[in-house]
Amino acid sequence: MRLVNRRRILAAVLGGGSAALFWACGEEAPASAPAPDSAASTPAPGTGAGAVLEPVIDDALEPTPGRGSLLLYSGRNEDLVAPLIEQARAELGLEIGVRYGSSAGQAAAILEEGDSSPADLFYSQDAGSIGALQKAGRLSDLPRAVLDLVDPRFRSRDGQWVGISGRARVFVYNTELIAADELPQSVTELTESSWEGRTGWAPGNGSFQAF
């Protein structure tokens, strides 16, 4: 039994180098489905969407049979998210299958599969993958109850994704050459001519490519 329609993808992401969770559905899930509201309770509640929670697995929790199954496309490493998936299985009583791979690769697969994609959920590490799916019209609106769990700064303006976890980016600067009040207030200021030839980062690292 499928709890949701596979035609589209609901997303959850935190802007600024983050992790994201896509919920697949082109139509609303049945009222009896535990789906997004319960699943989104795993991240920080209330407005603390930027917090990263340590998973708590209660061995006493037993899955409730007959509630259906979900297929998760995960762009995050298995070592990092497997405990959260196990917790979701126990709390929601669902069979959750997982396909691991890069976030870009998973997004490409969903785009290629189109309406026939077997993916119900997509857990992405970067915002670029979400943007590609959103641009292609593969996202659907999240329920208000899910959106309200997250600070407005860390959720989609059109209600199609919310933040799960995030990272802080910092500038390291030479105090002998630059005064504190001269530092850029945003990463976008680094593109101004005044910073040309004065900044650098590891070219093999994707940190400045996905925000």
Q: How many domains does the chain have?
A: 1
Q: Is residue 186 part of a domain?
A: no
Q: Is residue 188 part of a domain?
A: no
Residue 112 sits in which domain range?
A: 9-166
Three-state DSSP class for residue 84: helix
Q: Is residue 192 part of a domain?
A: no
Q: Is residue 195 part of a domain?
A: no
CATH number reported for the structural domain that contains residue 120 in this entry: 3.40.190.10
Q: Is residue 187 part of a domain?
A: no
Q: What is the pLDDT of residues 104-161, one digit of tens each?
A: 999 999 999 999 999 888 888 888 898 899 999 988 788 899 899 999 988 888 888 8
Q: Is residue 172 part of a domain?
A: no
In the chain, the percentage of residues whose pLDDT exceeds 90 is 32
CA atoms lying within 13 Å on the CB side of residue 47 = 3
Q: Is residue 54 part of a domain?
A: yes
Q: Which helix (H) or strand (E) holds 73?
A: strand 69-74
pTM of the shown model: 0.62
Whole-number pLDDT of residue 92: 87
Q: What is the pLDDT of residues 35-81, one digit of tens each?
A: 333 333 333 333 343 333 333 333 333 334 445 888 999 999 999 99
